[in-house]
Structure 1
Amino acid sequence: MQYSEQYPDEPATPRGGGLARFRLDITYDGTDFSGWAVQPTRRTVCGVLTDALGRILRTDVGLTVAGRTDAGVHATGQVAHADLPVEVDPARLVRRLARFLPPDVRVRTVTPVPAAFDARFSALRRHYVYRVATAPYGAEPLRARDTLSWPHPVDVDAVNAASQRLLGEHDFAAFCKRREGATTVRALERFSWTRAADGVVSAAVSADAFCHSMVRSLVGALLDVGRGRRGVDWPAELLTRRERGQGVAVAPAHGLTLVGVDYPPDSALGARAEVTRNLRVPGGATAPAAP
């Protein structure tokens, strides 16, 4: 792995004290990453970050992330937490990471947080944006890595009408790649489409959590509505299914960006994490999460 610069072999913090929990706010261009999660022989966001942190702090570092993005998906508002030496100087660590990390990933801030903070389980909701260029020439070159070039019109009124029918808590099995032991019940809080002056259509999608490929499947289904191949009611009709719907296209990864994660006040972090660790089932009941 290549870094932009080499540095003296000095620790970032003095030795001593124990560990404290820190929040990391992260941004990355996902184009050249095989997703977030560490994979042997593959370049991943977590792999690059933990390698850099380990070199700087001279200790193994584990990261817990709010949302494990797939290969090619970007982030401007990713959040992770790590237990680091209590003596860490957050501002200095950000500066050193900027010099150790490759140019397609950055840690914007490092912030001390309570021990109850869990980047994954304490999260209230995640926010994504999917960008679609509908101009005849496709996406602008400077945005081609985060914008889908779509050679069809998108009826914004139709996709918004169809999206509104999907809001609320449902079993989104038709829009997810099922994973053993994982629930597909999710609370979709926002799904709205806007067209900018340059013709780029953006879908803003927010939920308490997302199952595997859910956002890209929702966008793929709605793009079929937007081009007139499917009716406005079709996506909502799929909610009655308990398996992945045939005919639901998965939109390409590169148009998707994780733009934010919301958390409760510090006093509610532990309670929120406890609730989230339970598996939801239809009707609002909960069942113990699988180990």
Structure 2
Amino acid sequence: MNLKNLGLGLLAALLLASCRNDDDGILPGSTVPPRDLDEVALENDADIREFLQTHFYNYEEFDNPPAGFDYQIRIDTLAGDNADKTPLIEQMQTEIIQITPEQVGVDQDLGNVAHTLYYLSVRDGVGVSPTIGDSVLVRYQGSYLDGRSFDANPNFQWQELPFFLRGYQEAMKHFSSGTLGSLVVNPDGTSEIDDRGVGLLILPSGLGYFSDTSTGIIAYSPLIFRVDLGLVVEDTDSDGDGIPNIMEDLNNNGYLYDDNTDEAQELQAFTAILRPNFLDTDDDSDGRPTREEIEIDAQGNITFPDSDGDGTPDYLDRDS
């Protein structure tokens, strides 16, 4: 299973009117309407908070690393000899992220639904923190709240964060990376980054796969990720138009797929998935590439000419 949440996958979620719920025993091939986003958000948060109140991680090893410690997060229950450990609920940090039903493929008449993302940087790296638009070199483990693993990559791999789960990309900006100077490639082809950051994140299904089971993930499941953040490529430009992804978040909502300034209004709901600005080399569809409608100086600074002085820069203005 690949945790990548590509635009095509999101498109499928928007276009399909229903999907099966393996967790509720729906047979393969059967269809049921997606559940209400607000209802699932409340249930997921209650389940996550119960988990955080009854579990802890190996914080003592991170505070005082023993010889040969691998800096891997291990989670266990607060019971027996571990009953006096500090529960995760007292250590995790939170961020509220607003999600619309449309973003998860739900036809529901309500506005934004608040979702709580839980995250914890258990080890700070010495490098930088990514934005939601950047590329990162990471390795990760994914599991359900009951401990079952659904995905893992023991080796570092590159990810462009805009193509990944909303909660995953949002949490990554709270972690810091290692540095290229500490990168070691082992004889077997694996690699290690000694000064990497290490983080834990738990996201409700509205920030994950929600009702989509095409990846093998159980519908409406909160997810846990343990992440080693190795390196960051800042100002990633996925479409190569000269504008970093993060600068193409025109409404500043942390979601790059609803920023689409193509003129064909009747197609925006469709092209917002296939060709949002960060994946569009001609952001206003005027036939002139975006790269030709902006100016970049020798230091990499970008300016946005407005030829007709109407307040809209040329690269977003079909009439300029």
Compute the TM-score of the two structures, normalised by the length of structure 2.
Answer: 0.22
Compute the TM-score of the two structures, normalised by the length of structure 1.
Answer: 0.23
Question: Which structure would you say has the larger RCO, counting Cα contacts within 8 Å and 6 or more residues apart?
Answer: 1
Structure number with bigger Rg: 2
